[in-house]
Amino acid sequence: MGMKIGTAAFKERVDQGLSDSFMRGAVSAAQGRLRDGRLNAAEELGNWEDWRSHGEEIRKHTLEHLDYYLEMLVDNVSKRGGHVFFAQTAEEANEYITNVVKKKGAKKIVKSKSMVTEEISMNEALEKIGCDVVESDLGEWILQVDDHDPPSHIVAPALHKNKEQIRDVFRDKLGYKNSEKPEELALFAREQLREEFLAAEVGITGCNFAIADSGTVTLVTNEGNARMATTLPKTQITVMGMERIVPSWEEMEVLVSLLTRAAVGQKLTSYITALTGPKGEGDVDGPEEFHLVVVDNGRSKILGTEFQEALHCIRCAACINVCPVYRHVGGHSYGSIYPGPIGAVLSPLLGGYDDYKELPYASTLCAACTEACPVKIPLHELLIKHRQKIVEKEGKAPVFESLSMKAFRMGTASPTMYNIGSKLAPKMMKPFVKEDKIANGPGPLKNWTSIRDFPAPSNERFRDWFKNREKEESKS
């Protein structure tokens, strides 16, 4: 699939997102639930700010010494009998992975959820050599069965689909006969995927955190699919973005605690699996062969720049879950497997401004993302830095920001102008008002009202109401 999803232009993608009312409802409900989960989990700890600061200092130190810790990691992996391949590009990574698979004569591959393998289009590379690659995360599998529908959220990839749609996909593609009850759908997936796990010759996983001083990779899941993929097949390949590493178990523990709380509000997910090399001597289950593929694919271009902190990301999606822009346009609008605020920072860095120059503008700079980030990445500041760079490069902003901001600035620049504007509003808008709502607004309101109503300006301005209230109060 690659990092880029779809070919439509930014504005078309946004229009499509805005007009999908199920998706918008699902997204805002999910955002609410995930955000509340994080806030409750944070509150329970009491000293969440200290946790965040600790996460930040760990990520900063590790990234500053990335070459050192990567060397320690791979030396320890190889001591435990694992093979390591460093891939500068997606092509190099795919070439190595397909060679391992060919050597094993493998046809069936099970995968547990991994963003980096999406980023490098690994599935396509394996399919090209005749392999059947099965996604085993429930959400990812639903999308795969539905002819590779792209993911819309990094933690809940099938968020944009409702249970009836999922039932129909299973029915049409796999002959599913039961109802749209989530339990029945999940049971069907369990049965279908169990067969795949048992038949697979190779299991491929991503990596949440690699631990340098023991040569361990850590996988965080709820469903148990990563455990299946690393228990049953005889060969395991783990693919990691090169920044996904911590010095020791002590730091892994802290970042896992931050990840599970920030992502879903859980103290820990159902399964945290720490794997070191292939199975040990005398072990019955687990892979006989273990390969670790460390991927750069554009990350080193970010090191040493003002955007280095973007590499601190632990992929929890907390920023996505609080973003008001994501809430309205949904994940597909970003045109990248990395949506939301972190996607708007990361996609232009990994994929270039040509494809992603609009994304830094898909933000209100409200800073909710920065506040939510468990490792304190200053996301909104990085978005501003992107905008500065884009303007320097292009000589202008790529979207209508300049014009609309100019009008707003004019209207709010002086008390007099604001006074006049806000007084005039109810009169000016009168022709468009129906039952206190504007359903078909003029000018700048058009984009808004083409899909939803806008409340009509109140006849009594807040300023006047407030003044009158003060008068009333002073009387009593």
Partner 1 sequence: MIKGTVTNKDSFLNHVAKSLGRPRTSTRIEKPVWKYSPQQEVFKGYSQDELVKVLKLQGERIHTDVIETLVKDLPRALENVVMGYGGDSVVTWADPRFEEFGLTMLLNEGLPSKQVDVHVWDTELGDKNTEIAERANVGITFSDTTLAESGTVVLFNGKGKGRAVSLLPATYIAIIPKSTIVPRMTQVAEKVHRDNQNGEQVASCVNFISGPSNSADIEMNLIVGVHGPIKATYIIVNDK
Question: Least CB distance from residue 77 to partner 1, whole Å?
Answer: 7
CA distance 279 to 260: 27
Is residue 256 within the footprint of partner 1 (CB under 8 A)?
A: yes
The token pair that represents 382 in the structure block: 């990085």
Q: Residue 191's closest CA among 205, 169, 170?
A: 170
Question: Least CB distance from residue 216 to partner 1, whole Å?
Answer: 7
The smaller minimum CB distance to partner 1, of residues 271 and 418, is found at: 271
Question: Least CB distance from residue 452 to partner 1, whole Å?
Answer: 22
Q: What are the phi and psi torsion angles at 84 (to 5°)?
A: -125, 135
Q: Is residue 313 part of an annotated ligand binding site?
A: yes
Q: What are the phi and psi torsion angles at 94 (to 5°)?
A: -65, -35
Q: Could you tell me how far CA 296 lies from the centroid of its own chain?
A: 19
| Count of positions on this chain that bind partner 1 (CB under 8 A) | 111
Is residue 45 within the footprint of partner 1 (CB under 8 A)?
A: yes
Q: Are 85 and 293 in contact (CB under 8 A)?
A: yes
Q: Is residue 207 part of an annotated ligand binding site?
A: no
The token pair that represents 325 in the structure block: 């822009």
Question: What count of other Cβ atoms lies within 10 Å of the Cβ of residue 294?
Answer: 25
The smaller minimum CB distance to partner 1, of residues 63 and 372, is found at: 63
Question: What count of other Cβ atoms lies within 10 Å of the Cβ of residue 324?
Answer: 14
For partner 1, which stretch binds (CB under 8 A), given 1-9, 250-258, 355-363, 409-417?
Answer: 250-258
Q: Is residue 319 part of an annotated ligand binding site?
A: yes
Q: Is residue 131 part of an annotated ligand binding site?
A: no
Contacts of 21 (CB under 8 A, 6+ apart): none
Q: What are the phi and psi torsion angles at 465 (to 5°)?
A: -60, -45
Subset of 304-333 contacting partner 1 (CB under 8 A): 304
Is residue 257 within the footprint of partner 1 (CB under 8 A)?
A: yes
- Angstrom distances, CA of residue 404 to CA of 233, 385, 410, 421, 428: 57, 21, 10, 15, 18
Subset of 104-143 contacting partner 1 (CB under 8 A): 136-139, 142
Is residue 188 within the footprint of partner 1 (CB under 8 A)?
A: no
The token pair that represents 224 in the structure block: 């148990």
Subset of 364-423 contacting partner 1 (CB under 8 A): none
Number of residues in the chain: 476
The smaller minimum CB distance to partner 1, of residues 288 and 464, is found at: 288
Is residue 294 within the footprint of partner 1 (CB under 8 A)?
A: yes
Q: Which of 3, 23, 30, 372 binds partner 1 (CB under 8 A)?
A: 30
Residue ranges of E strands in 270-408: 271-276, 289-295
Q: Which of 106, 134, 145, 166 binds partner 1 (CB under 8 A)?
A: 166
The token pair that represents 274 in the structure block: 């720490």
Q: Residue 64's closest CA among 191, 245, 219, 274?
A: 245
Q: What are the phi and psi torsion angles at 362 (to 5°)?
A: -80, 60
Q: Are 343 and 336 in contact (CB under 8 A)?
A: yes
Question: Least CB distance from residue 30 to partner 1, whole Å?
Answer: 5
Q: DSSP assignment of 222-291, as one string?
A: SSSHHHHHHHSSSEEEEEEETT-EESSHHHHHHHHHHHHHHHHS-SS-SEEEEEESSPPTT--SS-SEEE
For partner 1, which stretch binds (CB under 8 A), given 226-234, 351-359, 408-416, 436-444?
Answer: 226-234
Q: Which of 1, 8, 115, 254 binds partner 1 (CB under 8 A)?
A: 254
Q: Which of 119, 149, 223, 309 binds partner 1 (CB under 8 A)?
A: 223
The smaller minimum CB distance to partner 1, of residues 289 and 358, is found at: 289
Is residue 182 within the footprint of partner 1 (CB under 8 A)?
A: yes
Is residue 227 within the footprint of partner 1 (CB under 8 A)?
A: yes
The smaller minimum CB distance to partner 1, of residues 217 and 319, is found at: 217
Is residue 278 within the footprint of partner 1 (CB under 8 A)?
A: yes
Sequence letter at residue 459: N
Subset of 48-77 contacting partner 1 (CB under 8 A): 50-51, 53-54, 57-58, 61, 64-68, 70-71, 74-75, 77
Question: Least CB distance from residue 261 to partner 1, whole Å?
Answer: 10
The smaller minimum CB distance to partner 1, of residues 74 and 345, is found at: 74
Question: Least CB distance from residue 198 to partner 1, whole Å?
Answer: 7
- Angstrom distances, CA of residue 267 to CA of 42, 59, 426: 10, 20, 51
Is residue 431 within the footprint of partner 1 (CB under 8 A)?
A: no
Subset of 198-217 contacting partner 1 (CB under 8 A): 198, 213-214, 216
Q: Residue 122's closest CA among 135, 106, 104?
A: 135
Q: Which residues are annotated as a binding site for [4Fe-4S] cluster?
A: 313, 316, 319, 323, 366, 369, 373
Q: Which residues are annotated as a binding site?
A: 313, 316, 319, 323, 366, 369, 373
